[in-house]
């Protein structure tokens, strides 16, 4: 993921100190042929998070200001993407393309920097949520009612819009297969225009870091399936009922708990953290989709591959693009293996053998978690299901999963969404309430347990497991 490799690590290593006044002394990250990893000392990450938590507990407005910064940066990036959607890259001059690229880099870097702040509290640790759970003292079900955002993510909005469109189509014709749907669109161009507008508006929704975007075929298949089952209206009613139920249940719970002003403010801020994580990632994913035509034209102008261009996007390589002095050999070495290491409050960039040598000692010092069969983690969305475990690490593993299986992974990202749609539940080694698996679980209403540390070591493909998110446990039953 070269798109984020530079921004992510610069934000963690350097910008976090500027944003919060707290610092992570040591950080290392490597990148190898499409996969990036970031390493920190757990004790330092915890200490830094606790320092920030202390500030937030004393003055909650500090966190509120940080969240405003995230929302402002996300809105700027959304606006930038909307501007790109109105233009055709083929009509842009070389100067305009270079300016757009630099502007995008500025907006993206600003959003990554702002977005790192709440990660101190709720990524791979649950500092604010643990503090509030202990203080309020409610069970898991009431806790999730209390903190689940009522604002809808882009994926949730798309699902509801899609169901409304399906209801509209279903009222005009009875569709049982894709050919019938296509034939109906040929005779009803107005309806096809609405369908086309929907898929063009939302085709970025699963783009992730480097795509691909969803095509018209995906939306045709999905529309055919829901029309054949005649389930659009029932599904929409159920979703709206869930939305209303959450609001009503929270109102009742708020009146019952009658929290003091300080605690109530912190609960609202935690809820906002959860929404803002999804909101900022949506802004980033949409921008990556919108930038693809710009990248393709830039690649031709500079004689680069898309992989090289995405790697050169890194902060330390951007000046070479501006100057036009591009070292292709250096770029290829960076794609094959490169590393960031924080040394003397500077983030140094290494490629090739220098990167391997620099990372060798760091990797050898990492303590391995020992499997003990006791699988516990943090519940990201409640529920209890059984199914066969499928270890899914990359897109190459997606073929293994079938409807109703349990997805087990180190951590999920947008490239695994096709597998997550089929899975009955998600279990990850890493993560917290703001990780990708947790966000998707809340969107899809699927049981999810994150931060088990050892799930991928204890479980193997085919194990029948029980995921009990009410108690945060995963148990092998066969």
Residue 311, helix vs strand vs coil:
helix
Average pLDDT, the chain: 91
Q: For residue 329, how many other CB atoms are within 10 A of its CB? A: 9
Query: What is the rounded CA–CA span in Å between residue 261 and residue 380?
Result: 26
Answer yes or no: pTM beyond 0.85. Answer: yes
Distance between CA 109 and CA 315 in Å, rounded? 9
Residue of 96, 37, 7, 90 whose CA lies nearest to 413: 37
Strand ranges of the sheet holding 28-32, from the earlier edge strand across to the other edge: 35-39, 28-32, 338-343, 346-351
Asked whether the bond before 389 is cis by omega within 30 degrees of 0, the reply is no
Please give the structure tokens belonging to residue 156: 């949730």
Q: How confident is the model at residue 318 (pLDDT cuts 50, 70, 90)?
A: low
- DSSP 8-class letter at 370: P
Number of Cβ within 10 Å of residue 333's Cβ equals: 18
pLDDT band at 303 (very low <50, low <70, confident <90, very high): confident
pLDDT digits (tens, 9 = 90+) for 447-476: 999 999 999 999 999 999 999 999 999 999
When pLDDT is cut at 50, 70 and 90, the band that residue 4 belongs to is: low
What local confidence, expressed as pLDDT, does residue 326 receive?
Answer: 79
What share of the chain has pLDDT > 70, as a percent? 94
User: pLDDT tens for residues 214-250?
Assistant: 999 999 999 999 999 999 999 999 999 999 999 999 9
Q: Is a pLDDT exceeding 60 seen at residue 314?
A: no
Instruction: Tell me what the mean pLDDT of segment 209-213 comes to.
Output: 91
Region 104-121: what's the mean pLDDT? Answer: 92
Closest CA to 401 of 385, 423, 386, 381: 423
Summarised one tens digit per residue, pLDDT across range 419-442 is 999 999 999 999 999 999 999 999
Q: Which has the higher per-residue pLDDT, 7 or 269?
A: 269
> From the CB of residue 368, how many other CB atoms can be counted at a distance below 10 Å?
7
With the C-alpha atoms ordered 68, 70, 76, 82, is the resulting torsion angle positive or negative? Answer: negative
pLDDT of residue 315: 54
* pLDDT grade for 308, boundaries at 50, 70 and 90: confident
pLDDT at 165: 97
Query: In angstroms, how far is CA 299 from the centroid of its own chain?
Result: 27
- The CATH class that applies to domain 375-476 reads alpha beta
| pLDDT at residue 42, rounded to an integer | 87
pLDDT in tens, 259-295: 999 999 999 999 999 999 999 999 999 999 999 999 8
Domain range summary for the chain, segments of one domain joined by +: 2-124+262-364, 375-476
Answer yes or no: are the C-beta atoms of 474 and 455 closer than 8 Å: yes
For residue 346, the model assigns a pLDDT of 86
* Whole-number pLDDT of residue 35: 80
Reference 204, options 158, 166, 163; nearest CA is 158
């Amino acid at each position: 993921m070269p798109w984020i490799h530079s921004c992510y690590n610069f934000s963690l290593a350097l910008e976090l100190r500027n944003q919060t006044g707290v610092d992570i002394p040591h950080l290392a990250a490597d990148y190898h042929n499409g996969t990036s990893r970031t390493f920190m000392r757990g004790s330092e990450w915890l200490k830094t998070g606790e320092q920030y938590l202390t500030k937030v507990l004393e003055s909650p407005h500090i966190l509120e200001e940080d969240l405003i910064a995230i929302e402002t940066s996300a809105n700027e990036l959304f606006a930038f993407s909307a501007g790109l959607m109105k233009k055709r890259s083929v009509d842009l001059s070389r100067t305009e393309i270079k300016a757009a690229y630099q502007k995008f880099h500025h907006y993206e870097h600003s959003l990554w920097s702002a977005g790192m702040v709440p990660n101190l509290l709720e990524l791979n640790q649950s500092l604010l949520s643990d503090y509030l759970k202990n203080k309020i003292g409610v069970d898991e079900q009431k806790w999730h009612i209390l903190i689940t955002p009522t604002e809808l993510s882009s994926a949730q909005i798309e699902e509801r819009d899609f169901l409304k469109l399906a209801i509209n189509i279903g009222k005009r014709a009875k569709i049982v297969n894709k050919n019938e749907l296509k034939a109906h669109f040929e005779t009803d161009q107005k309806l096809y225009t609405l369908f086309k507008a929907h898929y063009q508006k939302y085709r970025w929704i699963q783009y992730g870091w480097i795509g691909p975007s969803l095509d018209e075929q995906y939306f045709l298949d999905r529309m055919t399936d829901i029309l054949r089952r005649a389930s659009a209206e029932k599904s929409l009613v159920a979703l709206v009922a869930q939305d209303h139920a959450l609001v009503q249940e929270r109102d009742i719970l708020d009146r019952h708990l009658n929290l003091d002003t300080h605690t109530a403010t912190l609960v609202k801020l935690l809820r906002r953290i959860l929404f803002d994580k999804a909101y900022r990632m949506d802004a980033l994913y949409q921008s990556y989709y919108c930038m693809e035509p710009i990248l393709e034209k830039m690649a031709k102008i500079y004689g680069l591959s898309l992989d090289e261009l995405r790697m050169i996007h890194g902060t330390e390589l951007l000046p070479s693009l501006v100057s036009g002095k591009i070292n292709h050999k250096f770029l290829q070495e960076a794609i094959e293996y490169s590393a960031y290491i924080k040394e003397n409050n500077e983030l140094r960039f290494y490629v090739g053998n220098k990167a391997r040598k620099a990372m060798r000692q760091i990797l050898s010092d990492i303590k391995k978690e020992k499997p003990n069969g006791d699988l516990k983690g943090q519940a990201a969305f409640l529920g209890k299901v059984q199914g066969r475990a499928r270890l899914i690490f990359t897109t190459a593993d997606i073929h293994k999963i079938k409807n109703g299986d349990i997805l087990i992974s180190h951590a999920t990202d947008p490239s695994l969404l096709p597998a997550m749609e089929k899975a009955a539940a998600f279990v990850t080694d890493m993560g917290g309430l703001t990780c990708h698996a947790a966000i998707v679980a809340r969107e899809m209403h699927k049981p999810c347990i994150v931060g088990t540390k050892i799930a991928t070591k204890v479980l193997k493909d085919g194990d029948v497991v029980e995921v009990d998110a009410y108690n945060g446990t995963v148990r092998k039953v066969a």
